[in-house]
Amino acid sequence: MKKILVTGFDPFGNEPINPAIEAVKLLPNEIKGVEIVKLEIPTIRYQSLELIDQTIQAVDPDAILSIGQAGGRFDMTVERVGINQDDFRIPDNGGNQPIDEPVYKDGQAAYFSNLPIKAMVEYMKKANIPASVSNTAGTFACNHVLYGVQYLIDTKYPGKKSGFMHIPFMTQQVVDKPNMPSLDIETMAKGIEAALEAIIDYQAGDIVKGGGATH
């Protein structure tokens, strides 16, 4: 493995800042000899995927890890699966608000991440950062990118790997949000770095460890 592309969304939903791209900016440029390519993507349906597609063509990464904000979650969550459904509860930054529309009409019903999601969680926990596997990425821009990048791999870039991580609000975002969980941005960047180390170490597969949910 020579390169990993890491993407982070710009601010959305009336938030002045998005911890996804802010944490990505703090990542080192190299981890274990692997180049880390950082990319800010718009929270806009299809434009996000078009920019990722263009960047894949330009830099030819071995893996793509996308990061998104999930306000209300307590920990760093590695997503297992993206579904072929755009059902936006709020408009994206381009004013798009599709209801029950496929991401790609010719795509599969769902695509599973082919990153080592269990190892990513374990590496973050070993770094003393709360983390877990998530079995739903929602139906907004984050799922759109998780599903869409796997679609690109399935149809255009065989052999590459991709996946998605949600992160909580950063501390300064919850000053006016009582009882809302958050993590400081340095901790979240450290967590993403640990997850990237797992991606590098487990290129041939994943660890076998429970990480499921009862609901």
Annotated catalytic residues are 79, 142, 166
User: Residues 6 or more apart from 62 whose CB is under 8 A from it?
Assistant: 1, 2, 3, 4, 160, 161
Among 153, 196, 198, which Cα is nearest to 36's?
196
Q: Biggest alpha carbon distance in the chain?
A: 45
